Chain A
Amino acid sequence: MSGNRVGIIGIGQSEFRSRRDDASYPDLVREGVVRAMEDAKLDFDAIQAVVYSLSPDAMIGIGNAERLGIDAVGGRNKPFLRINNGGATGISSAVAAYYHIASGMFDVVLTAGADKIGECGDSQTVLNKIWDPSYERPLPLGTINMLAMSAVRYMDRYGMTEEDMARVTVKNRHHASLNPKAHLRKEVTIEDVLASRIISWPIKLLDCCPQSSGGAALVLASERFIKDNKLDAVWITGVGHAAETYWMGDRMGNNPTAEHADAYALGRSFEKSYRMAGITDPMKQIQVAELYAPFSSTEYHSIDAARLSPSPQETIQRLRDGEYQIGGRIPVNPSGGTLCTNAIAVTAMARVAEIALQVWGRAGAHQVKGAKLGVASGNGGDHQIFGTMVIEA
């Protein structure tokens, strides 16, 4: 692949907040784009194609809201398309931008998006409508309830406790306190988490991500363009996607292929990315990870799927031992992660952006010292569609 690599040359992210009443939806998209373009030190004319990152329309309250963002990304008369893989959308968009370049057709591609979840009064209602109209929507399903059931199974199978869940929040809030772009930056204790009100047992308020508003963008370029223009870059060396069954009840019962406690297809997606990047021993080779985990409990099976631990029981123990915090063996979510910031359309793009910054050595106060190789992931649908990426300096 040498000479045909694809690099990240520009990164832009908002400071994510609950509300951004000063900015319309396209204004927020523009915020990420302008920052990424400044970071790439390129004019808009250099952008040859755009991949637009947007998950459910209903969350933003505008049908095909990507059309409203065309101007914000400078898409006029340019190749432009939108990706929606649910929560994975941000990383799926980055991967789609990667394919634009890896196809040989383009040298410089922008991917961008934004979300204003804080403006949606009924996000769990919108998310109930991701399920089958007759079989599942009559049930009070939402993403919180869905993942509460995953946590229940993870507890049952591997011995995770409510304290173990709280430990993830404590770790990630500490990380977020070091990251000015993160939304929830207040440090909390295990006791705080356990004392917070129960939302959907065993998930409590402080086990949950916030609803965030903000934008993000990435500029990707071909190795040829990067070298010809003497640009600085980090390299995308592995990409992958995999899906598992839509039917949550099929992830339980007798010998399911994809167990709902785990993240089966996330593991399959990581396998693809690792194979492509030549990673054979993830625990030794990976120095930092940003794994999409909107609830504390889900960080456990994400670490398992990324093979950053030998077993789920060991993941629980290693998290207790501080091995996944900054300064530990493999820091996971040094930015604070999805648990501290969730602007759905770009949440998984932020995972990519953060890993790019880490291996670039530009992450600031939450920098993982000496990180040269990192991984990012995104989860979409009803914990169903997963995207992964390996990024190297």
Chain B
Amino acid sequence: MELMERQETWSITYNHALGETASYFYAKIRDEGAIYGKRCAKTNRVLVPPRSFSDETLLPTTDWVKVGPGGRIEAFTIVYEKFNNLPDPPYAFGYVLLDGADTALGGYFKGIDLKDPAAAAAKLKVGTRVKAKFAEKRTGAMLDFWFELA
């Protein structure tokens, strides 16, 4: 028998409240081109991106700490497959431990030739030093900055 299909698309808009902590973080990125983390007073760990409470101690974080722009690669991947709603491949991104931080922050890695996967992976290996770079025009968003080899 004939088997039919019906195409359905979900499209819903959300306006997520960011709260004071993330708002401060983005304002600093936009206005100063700087990345800030927040310290948990009990463990002394600096959480980047900043959270208003530590999920380990469940205590509110206290003081702001400017971190980076230097740091080291903690994890990376290089994507060669096209996914819907994601950029055209290839691209590299991952997590970087910025100087002064205790947790790693996500971002794109730019300025690396990705044609040869093994060679690119060797350049991005865990522990490699990188530096955060900021866009000239910043809107206060995660993509206002990226990482390049130091």
In this assembly, does A253 line the interface, its C-beta being within 8 Å of a C-beta of chain B?
A: yes
| B-contact bits for A341-359, CB 8 A (1 contact / 0 none) | 0000000000000000000
In this assembly, does A18 line the interface, its C-beta being within 8 Å of a C-beta of chain B?
A: no
**A-side interface mostly:** loop
B85 & A134 in contact (Cβ 8 Å cutoff): no
Give the CA-CA distance A246 to B5 in the complex, in Å.
37
Give the CA-CA distance A245 to B47 in the complex, in Å.
12
B125 & A148 in contact (Cβ 8 Å cutoff): no
Interface hub of A122, A202, A252, A255 (most chain B Cβ within 10 A): A252
Give the CA-CA distance A139 to B87 in the complex, in Å.
10
B97 & A140 in contact (Cβ 8 Å cutoff): no
**Chain B, Cβ-Cβ closest to A246:** B55
Given the known A-B contacts A61-B10, A200-B81, A254-B102, are A124 and B75 also in contact in the complex, defined by CB atoms under 8 Å? no
B26, B48, B56: the one within 8 Å of A249 (CB): B48
In this assembly, does B149 line the interface, its C-beta being within 8 Å of a C-beta of chain A?
A: no
In this assembly, does A190 line the interface, its C-beta being within 8 Å of a C-beta of chain B?
A: no
Chain B residues whose CB sits within 8 angstroms of the CB of A138 once the complex forms: 141-143
Give the CA-CA distance A11 to B91 in the complex, in Å.
44
Given the known A-B contacts A21-B3, A136-B106, A260-B75, are A142 and B83 also in contact in the complex, defined by CB atoms under 8 Å? yes
The interface size bin for chain B is: 35 or more
**Which segment of A78-86, A149-157, A364-372 sits at the interface?**
A149-157
Given the known A-B contacts A134-B16, A197-B81, are A252 and B86 also in contact in the complex, defined by CB atoms under 8 Å? no
Given the known A-B contacts A128-B85, A198-B117, A202-B121, are A153 and B104 also in contact in the complex, defined by CB atoms under 8 Å? no
B79 & A140 in contact (Cβ 8 Å cutoff): yes
Give the CA-CA distance A134 to B107 in the complex, in Å.
13
| B-contact bits for A118-143, CB 8 A (1 contact / 0 none) | 00011011001000011110111110
- Cβ < 8 Å to A, chain B residues 58-108: 74-81, 83-87, 91, 93-95, 97, 101-108
Chain A residues whose CB sits within 8 angstroms of the CB of B112 once the complex forms: none
Interface hub of A21, A138, A152, A203 (most chain B Cβ within 10 A): A152
Given the known A-B contacts A135-B22, A135-B142, A153-B75, are A249 and B81 also in contact in the complex, defined by CB atoms under 8 Å? no
Given the known A-B contacts A156-B125, A202-B121, are A257 and B56 also in contact in the complex, defined by CB atoms under 8 Å? yes
Minimum distance in angstroms from A114 CB to a CB of chain B: 18
Give the CA-CA distance A247 to B125 in the complex, in Å.
21
Given the known A-B contacts A134-B142, A249-B48, A253-B101, are A152 and B77 also in contact in the complex, defined by CB atoms under 8 Å? yes
Give the CA-CA distance A250 to B108 in the complex, in Å.
18
Interchain residue pairs with CB less than 8 A apart (23): A21-B5, A58-B10, A122-B84, A122-B85, A125-B83, A125-B85, A134-B16, A136-B142, A139-B108, A140-B83, A140-B86, A153-B75, A156-B127, A200-B78, A200-B80, A201-B77, A201-B80, A249-B48, A249-B49, A250-B55, A253-B101, A253-B103, A257-B56
- Chain A contacts to B: CB under 8 angstroms: 21-22, 58, 61, 121-122, 124-125, 128, 133-136, 138-142, 144-145, 148-150, 152-153, 156, 197-203, 245-250, 252-257, 260
